[in-house]
A and B are shown apart, each in its own frame.
Chain A
Amino acid sequence: MACGVSPAERQEIYAWVGADPRHAVAFARMEAAWESAERLRAAPPPLEPDAKADLGAPPAGASRRRLMFGALAAASTAVAATVGWRLLDNVELHRTGVGERRVVALADGSRVTLNTASTVELAFSANERRVRLVRGEALFEVAHDASRPFLVDAGSARFRALGTAFNVRLRPDVVELTVTQGVVGVVAEDGGAATTVSAKIAAGGGAVVRSGAVAPTALDGQHLRQRTAWQEGVLEFDGESLAQVVGEFNRYRQQPIVIGDARLEALRIGGRFEVDEADKFLAALTSSFPIEAIATDDGGVLLVERP
């Protein structure tokens, strides 16, 4: 069972899932079933059954359910192959909800710290450690292993490391890399085009990647700290616009803070806040500026200029 699934095969699987919403539904169902069984770890059932009715046959009187069984069975022949690589090939999914933060310790000694509303997919094999940042933001602290590169796919960017620490954030339009230790190789993939652009980014540097382009960015100590402060659950600002600041807080909130007056968006903000201390931020904001924070019915906050 050491058969790894190649990137090309994965691509094919995703293509199948993407080709038809019914495939996607069937795929999602199988995955949800697999994930739900996580709970069984809390109280593992005995391996041998108590000799009871088995579920293989539909319960009596369930004839109207046959159709459903039939439909699922047809779909799942294809899904079996599809789901296979996730279940059988040791692919693990880790995710955090809004406002959550989690450290995942990996078998090879590496650590992945997930920021709010983030998902990673891990597929390790004998010759590579493959990770996909599906959404959100993660900090990778990679244990050195020269024989197994640590590969991170994130949007249109691919990162390659041996033993380093770096942060990757999927922003709406770009993938943002921040390297805090060692060197990270970056490849920007253009959808299908033959040209790939690559760069090497060393500790203390960063890059933004967007389809086919890698732009290294110079970072000073302050920037570096800012970009990784989330690990301590902290947001740091140094002259960011109110719009940016509110955007950062909203990543951690179910109900958003909304700027109700475009003139306020450009206000410059500095300070250091806990991610879940939006209240303190709002109090500071309303006491230092002529701004009013109005609670909305849905639990959100509306910011307007004080009349």
Chain B
Amino acid sequence: MSELLVRLEWFKAVVLPHEAAVRGRLRRICPPGFDVDNLVAESLARAYQVQEFSRITAGRSYLLAIARNLLIDALRRERIVSLDFVADLDVLRSDEAAVERQIQARDELRWLQGLVERLPPQARKVFLLRRVHDLSLATIAAQMGLSVSTVEKHLVKALKLVAQARAEREDDEFGRAAPQDVRLAGDRRSGGRLRR
């Protein structure tokens, strides 16, 4: 069981922070109608399963490599691969050093604040009281005149929304897209590079 917890810690620290960026890149190069979210989910699941996870420290390259291989397989199955597209796949080759832009704590805080602002009012209040003000669920329930189970539901809802937003967050929300990303930001979806 300890192995499970260590693996979870590794996954949260090394792989998961790159989910949003990998999803963003895939969206830029995948043909319209392609199920990017499913590809990302599958990539994450495979990344999680790796045998000797402790050796993997460069999460972004690792996740990109998995996504790239899955994508190639998928496209091969559909027999829709053009050479141009294979060239595009290079977007999925990561040089960790260049793309590993550390999101600054200040930006992260600002982003979180914006996110919390947009949570449904009840969920937001419960979330803040529990997470930031450390009140117990019972105290929150009494204070808001709700049942404990309702408070729980609000909390889980808030957490789900925060988790979703994190998974969807694109790098450029921080206004610091790398030059290569800017170049690739052109719309590949209508580019006619892929024959369907």
| A residues lining the B interface (CB < 8 Å) | 1-2, 11, 14, 17-18, 21-22, 24-25, 27-45, 47-50, 52-56, 64-65, 67-69, 71-73, 76, 80, 83-84, 87-88, 90, 95, 119, 121, 132, 134-135, 154-155, 170
Contact = CB atoms under 8 A, between A and B. Distances in A.
* Max count, chain B CB within 10 A of own CB: residue among A22, A37, A121: A37
Contact of A37 (B2, B12, B162): B162
B128 A68 contact: no
B132 A55 contact: no
Interface of B: 1-2, 4-9, 11-12, 16-17, 35-38, 41, 44-46, 48-49, 105, 108-109, 112-113, 115-121, 124-125, 127-133, 136-138, 148, 152, 155-156, 159-168
Contacts of B165: 55
A87 B16 contact: no
B132 A28 contact: no
A304 to B, nearest CB: 23
| Interface SS of chain B | helix
Contacts of B38: 67, 71
Given A45-B128, A52-B117, 17 more contacts: A2-B138, A25-B41, A30-B163, A32-B163, A37-B162, A40-B109, A43-B109, A49-B117, A64-B37, A67-B38, A71-B37, A72-B167, A80-B156, A87-B130, A95-B9, A134-B6, A135-B6
Contacts of B129: 47
Contacts of B16: 28-29, 32
Closest 6 pairs (CB-CB, A-B): A33-B163, A68-B37, A21-B45, A55-B118, A33-B162, A80-B156
A106 to B, nearest CB: 14
A1 B136 contact: yes
Given A30-B160, A49-B117, A49-B124, A41 B132 contact: yes
B6 A32 contact: no
Given A68-B168, A170-B2, A134 B9 contact: yes
22 contacts: A17-B4, A24-B7, A30-B159, A31-B12, A32-B166, A36-B162, A37-B131, A39-B109, A40-B109, A40-B128, A45-B117, A47-B125, A47-B129, A49-B121, A52-B118, A53-B118, A54-B121, A55-B118, A67-B37, A90-B136, A134-B6, A135-B9
Contact of A73 (B37, B160, B168): B160
Given A21-B46, A72-B160, A83-B159, A67 B121 contact: no
A18 B5 CA distance: 10
A28 B11 CA distance: 7
Contacts of B1: 11, 14, 18
A21 B130 contact: no
B57 to A, nearest CB: 8
Contacts of B112: 36-37, 39-40
* Max count, chain B CB within 10 A of own CB: residue among A22, A29, A56, A67: A29
